[in-house]
Structure 1
Amino acid sequence: MIDKQIFFDGHNDTVLRVMRGQVTPGQLADGLPDGHIDRPRAQSGGLGGGFFAVFTPNPDGGSDRDAQMKLAAYDVPKPEPLDQGFALDWTRRGFDALEAMEQAGAITLCRTAAEVAAALPGEPLAAVLHAEGAEAIDPDFAVLHELHARGLRSLGPVWSRDTIFGHGVPFRYPADPDIGPGLTDLGRALVRECNRLRIMIDLSHLNAAGVDDVAAITDAPLVATHSNAWAVCNHARNLTDRQLDMIRESDGMVGINLASAFLRPDGRKDDDFELDILLRHFDHLVERLGEDRIGLGSDFDGSLVPRPIRDCAGLPNLVAALQAHGVDDTLLAKVTHGNWLRVLKRTWGE
């Protein structure tokens, strides 16, 4: 039986730390002095597992995005599209890193919702393989099948870069996500092939037109693994009420993103605030989606999270804030892991 306070998380970027040589798989298993996730802190904080993203960074190291996102308003240009060969090499090495993390005892790779449920109460983190951005995928989908065979179960067609499959949203505040065209013909074909393979499509980086395109094609629940309410924070990366209504109608869900810039009403990348702001997003998402369609999508190791949470060991502070806000044990169990397991079962045909 899973404890009501064990979290399954919609998104983290811990793999990227391994790939950049910042940590080793063994250190993730034994404990770290920095970052957001390791096995000992996960145990103490109640993090049982989540989606582990394989993300290909910009070859040039990116822009001065962090500095711009501390301003009152910003519009960070989208990076140039990636070369498919470069992205494929990086993605394969990301999958290698995840397998090394499993061998070190830091994670247990899971390919079904039943495996996730069985692994959540254990010490190694239950890990679902997610590709954040489809730059590695070829037009014939041979790579998609290769990665699926290695355990890929969730895919975001875009990050904040355009791909042959569609268009993402930039880091822009204040802004509406209705920015530019959506999926390409190849992107629509990708959605259909992912449906056939039972790979979850992640909406979190798609623009408004792209979300509409996925909704028109998919036979699976609509899921945004790490997104917040645009009504509370008018960031291009957040979800409008119209999009939330579409997700509700599909019986999908949204994982609340702990990234400060997507929580704060002023859109600033600044972690100095209390969890009442997060609770405003929670209330709005529950109002639009219902209690069965909301969970956590932390963005640990990929964002600046609120100081009261700090890292995965601080998740009890989130639990305490939810309980003080009136969340009972039944809803807490749904928010921490139950809703994710429900959606994964539906998406993966279990």
Structure 2
Amino acid sequence: MAEIEIFDGHNDAVQFIAEYTSAGRDFLLRSESGHLDLPRAREGGLVGGLFALHAGPEHPPENDLIIREDGYEVIYAETVDPLYARRQIEAQRLALETLIGRSGGRMRLAVDVEEIAAARAEGAFAVVLHMEGAEALDGEFDYLHRLHAAGLRSLGPVWSRPNIFGFGVPFAHPKSPDTGPGLTGSGKDLVRTCNRLGIMIDLAHLNERGFWDVAALSDAPLVATHACAHAICPSTRNLTDRQLDAIRDSDGVIGFNLSVNDIRADGHLNDDTPLDLVVEHIKYLIDRVGEDRVALGSDFDGAVIPRAIGDASGLPHLFEAMRKRGFDQQSLSKFAFDNWLRVFALTWKNGRSA
């Protein structure tokens, strides 16, 4: 099989880099901790990805997980204070900027498809800024404009908790993603503003009513950067067939999430999840929406992933399993790289001049 180059639709590595936290790891050196650093990315064929900025809770909850005989439920995370969130987001953005500068050209911030393609051609790792949850914003969107000028190209209005823009979907299995109200008035304004700026709207972590609110408002393709199929694994985080069809009809993309509890039908947090099962789930999505509309959205450093992959360096095992299942080189290239670039080209506007 020819070498596959991969662009990943979602990772949480910024939370663990040394520039952001004193207990973090050096992203430029190979580590045995976590899932992602530059050496392991290179070993696995990764040439770039969306790096999530995300504000954690000010007061981490205790005993928030309820285990039942037939599944689980995580109690809603608290709403985060906007000023607290903004301090975290800005610290993470500056930490990533420092890391890119320290890389000596091995990593580059990319704000349009041409810069991603140029980085790939020149052997640099392309970093695209994403924000997972918009708690750091206010209803005036001044900070959103500043983030866009600094390179932000993808945004999820909510994480799995409520904010002024809408209601995230709490983690639960088995359960419908239709868990409550959708977007607020400010959330609808946020969608319109992102459309004007050319910021991709990420539907991951948004509940079903919020999904349909975005679908009704947005003039861009619908995208979920890291999600799976609810028909296979009835997790609240996964997309129903009707939602998948809406993404297909908008010419959008689903980033396939490697989180085992969203892949497995039983929802178990078990890394002994066979690659055959993973590939069967990918095949279901592609059969539903087409091979142009499914890509990789790993959730590295934010999930338990299959042991057979292990970390970013193990991605070739996934692609080999897909090849054995009958995926040809063109299909693999679309899943690995081309589908993200296609939807970025349909969504982003004006690059650095915006």
TM-score, scaled relative to structure 2: 0.94
- Alignment partner, residue 50 of structure 1: 49
**Deviation, structure 1 residue 123:** 4.6
Residue type matched to 1:271 in 2? D
What is the alpha-carbon distance in structure 1 between the residues aligned to residue 123 and residue 29 of structure 2? Answer: 11
Whether the aligned pair in 2 keeps the contact of 1:72 and 1:268 (CA below 8 Å) is: no
Residue type matched to 1:204 in 2? A
Indicate the percent of aligned positions where both proteins have the same amino acid: 48
- Alignment partner, residue 73 of structure 1: 71
Whether the aligned pair in 1 keeps the contact of 2:28 and 2:37 (CA below 8 Å) is: yes
What is the alpha-carbon distance in structure 1 between the residues aligned to residue 193 and residue 69 of structure 2? Answer: 41
What is the alpha-carbon distance in structure 2 between the residues aligned to residue 20 and residue 325 of structure 1? Answer: 41
What is the alpha-carbon distance in structure 2 between the residues aligned to residue 291 and residue 127 of structure 1? Answer: 25
What is the alpha-carbon distance in structure 1 between the residues aligned to residue 50 and residue 234 of structure 2? Answer: 26
**Other structure's SS at 1:322 match:** helix
Distance 1:338-1:149 versus aligned 2 partners, 3 A rule: same
What is the alpha-carbon distance in structure 2 between the residues aligned to residue 56 and residue 327 of structure 1? Answer: 38
**Deviation, structure 1 residue 22:** 3.1
Residues 49-75 of structure 1, C-alpha deviations (whole Å, 9 max, x = no match): 11000011111234456x657974111
- Alignment partner, residue 80 of structure 2: 82
Is 1:314 aligned with 2:307?
Answer: no
Q: CA RMSD in A?
A: 1.6
- Alignment partner, residue 102 of structure 2: 104
What is the alpha-carbon distance in structure 1 between the residues aligned to residue 218 and residue 3 of structure 2? Answer: 31
What is the alpha-carbon distance in structure 2 between the residues aligned to residue 33 and residue 268 of structure 1? Answer: 24
- Alignment partner, residue 222 of structure 1: 222
Distance 1:108-1:171 versus aligned 2 partners, 3 A rule: same
Q: Which moved more, 1:183-192 or 1:95-104?
A: 95-104
- Alignment partner, residue 267 of structure 2: 267
Residue type matched to 1:83 in 2? D
What is the alpha-carbon distance in structure 2 between the residues aligned to residue 321 and residue 39 of structure 1? Answer: 24
Residue type matched to 2:271 in 1? D
Whether the aligned pair in 2 keeps the contact of 1:45 and 1:313 (CA below 8 Å) is: yes
**Deviation, structure 1 residue 23:** 2.4
What is the alpha-carbon distance in structure 2 between the residues aligned to residue 163 and residue 178 of structure 1? Answer: 17
Distance 1:342-1:178 versus aligned 2 partners, 3 A rule: same
**Other structure's SS at 2:166 match:** coil
Is 1:305 aligned with 2:305?
Answer: yes
**Other structure's SS at 2:172 match:** strand
**Other structure's SS at 1:51 match:** strand
- Alignment partner, residue 41 of structure 1: 40
What is the alpha-carbon distance in structure 2 between the residues aligned to residue 69 and residue 17 of structure 1? Answer: 28
What is the alpha-carbon distance in structure 1 between the residues aligned to residue 316 and residue 68 of structure 2? Answer: 28
- Alignment partner, residue 17 of structure 1: 16
- Alignment partner, residue 136 of structure 2: 136
**Other structure's SS at 1:91 match:** helix
What is the alpha-carbon distance in structure 2 between the residues aligned to residue 159 and residue 243 of structure 1? Answer: 18
Q: Which moved more, 1:268-277 or 1:240-249?
A: 268-277
What is the alpha-carbon distance in structure 2 between the residues aligned to residue 279 and residue 182 of structure 1? Answer: 32
Whether the aligned pair in 2 keeps the contact of 1:70 and 1:270 (CA below 8 Å) is: no
Residues 330-350 of structure 1, C-alpha deviations (whole Å, 9 max, x = no match): 111101000000000111147
- Alignment partner, residue 344 of structure 1: 344
**Deviation, structure 1 residue 34:** 1.3
Residue type matched to 1:22 in 2? A
Whether the aligned pair in 1 keeps the contact of 2:14 and 2:92 (CA below 8 Å) is: yes
Residues 25-67 of structure 1, C-alpha deviations (whole Å, 9 max, x = no match): xx211222211111111111101111000011111234456x6
**Deviation, structure 1 residue 21:** 2.9
Residues 229-266 of structure 1, C-alpha deviations (whole Å, 9 max, x = no match): 00110000000000000000000010100011111111
Q: Gapped runs of 5+ residues in structure 2?
A: none
Residue type matched to 1:20 in 2? T
Q: Gapped runs of 5+ residues in structure 1?
A: none
What is the alpha-carbon distance in structure 2 between the residues aligned to residue 108 and residue 68 of structure 1? Answer: 42
